[in-house]
């Protein structure tokens, strides 16, 4: 069976948003040599400034140059995650283009795998509310053509997470603590891998992953 690989034309772009922390991360690419990304620490002004920064960032391209959107769906801060996903869904609906909701933890794992060109499993750990942790384990591939979730994003007690890790013989643990918005480029790349596979998720399918009952932070 031959799998058809879909690519963008050089005049069409993918756009990614990362807002699960107080930082705003944006990335845009035509996947043919033109890629740009930027991160801003907006803190509590994220909700009021995101539209302004987004409009300025996409120039000189316009909204009609976009073929798909990608957004970090969480886990992360409740308010920031909600802002990003709602904005991506709204743009996807208005522009009538696919919206890929990508795991924050998957983006971290993919970033680590890409930097180290390693096929070793990556266990990603992130602090959650009420003394719990988010945990996931992802397996990379030599050509960075895909990312496999050996253990999807899950909320654990610290003790339960340690028991999970004991069952894996070979992995590298990455603790997600800061600078997460910089992985917006991985959000975009993971979405493009799905695009190449022919996936075209409707904006209504883009849902946030909170993992816990929402608590403002």
Residues 51 and 156 in one domain: no
Three-class SS string for the chain? CCCCCCCCCCCCEEEEEECCCCEEEEEEECCCCCEEEEEEECHHHHHHHHHHHHHHHHCCCCHHHEEEEEEECCCCCHHHHHHHHHHHHHHHHHHCCCEEEECHHHHHHHHHHHHHCCCCEEEEEEECHHHCEEEEEEECCCCCCCCEEEEEEEEECHHHHHHHHHCCCCEEEEEECCCHHHHHHHHHHHHHHHHHCCCCCCHHHCCCCCCCCCCCC
Structural domain including 40 reads 13-103+179-205
The CATH number given to whatever domain includes residue 58 is 3.30.420.40
Verify that 17 and 67 share a domain, yes or no.
yes
Same domain? 42 vs 139: no
Residue 5 domain-assigned (yes or no): no
Does residue 80 form part of some domain? yes
163 in the same domain as 129: yes
Q: Would you write out the chain's pLDDT as a tens digit for each of its 217 residues?
A: 344 457 676 679 999 999 999 999 999 999 998 999 999 999 999 999 999 999 999 999 999 999 999 999 999 999 999 999 999 999 999 999 999 999 999 999 999 988 877 778 999 999 999 899 999 999 987 666 789 999 999 999 999 999 999 988 889 999 998 899 999 999 999 999 999 999 999 999 999 999 876 544 4
Number of domains in the chain: 2
113 and 95 inside one domain = no
Looking at the fold, whether 68 and 127 belong to one and the same domain comes out as no
């Amino acid at each position: 069976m031959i799998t058809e690989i879909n690519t963008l034309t050089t005049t069409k772009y993918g756009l990614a948003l990362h807002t699960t922390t107080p930082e705003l991360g944006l990335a845009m690419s035509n996947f043919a040599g033109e890629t740009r990304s930027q991160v801003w620490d907006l803190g509590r002004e994220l909700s009021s400034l995101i539209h302004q920064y987004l409009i300025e960032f996409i120039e000189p391209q316009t909204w009609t140059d976009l073929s798909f959107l990608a957004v970090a769906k969480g886990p992360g801060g409740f308010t920031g995650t909600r802002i990003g996903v709602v904005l991506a869904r709204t743009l996807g609906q208005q522009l009538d283009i696919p919206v890929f909701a990508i795991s924050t933890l998957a983006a971290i794992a993919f970033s680590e795998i890409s930097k180290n060109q390693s096929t070793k499993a990556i266990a990603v750990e992130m602090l959650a509310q009420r003394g719990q942790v988010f945990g996931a384990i992802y397996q990379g591939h030599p050509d960075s053509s895909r990312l496999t979730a050996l253990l999807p994003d899950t909320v654990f007690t610290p003790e339960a997470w340690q028991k999970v890790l004991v069952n894996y013989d070979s992995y590298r643990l990455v603790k997600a603590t800061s600078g997460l918005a910089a992985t917006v480029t991985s959000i975009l790349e993971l979405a493009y891998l799905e695009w190449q596979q022919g996936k075209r998720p409707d904006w209504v399918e883009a849902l946030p992953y909170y993992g816990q009952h929402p608590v403002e932070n």
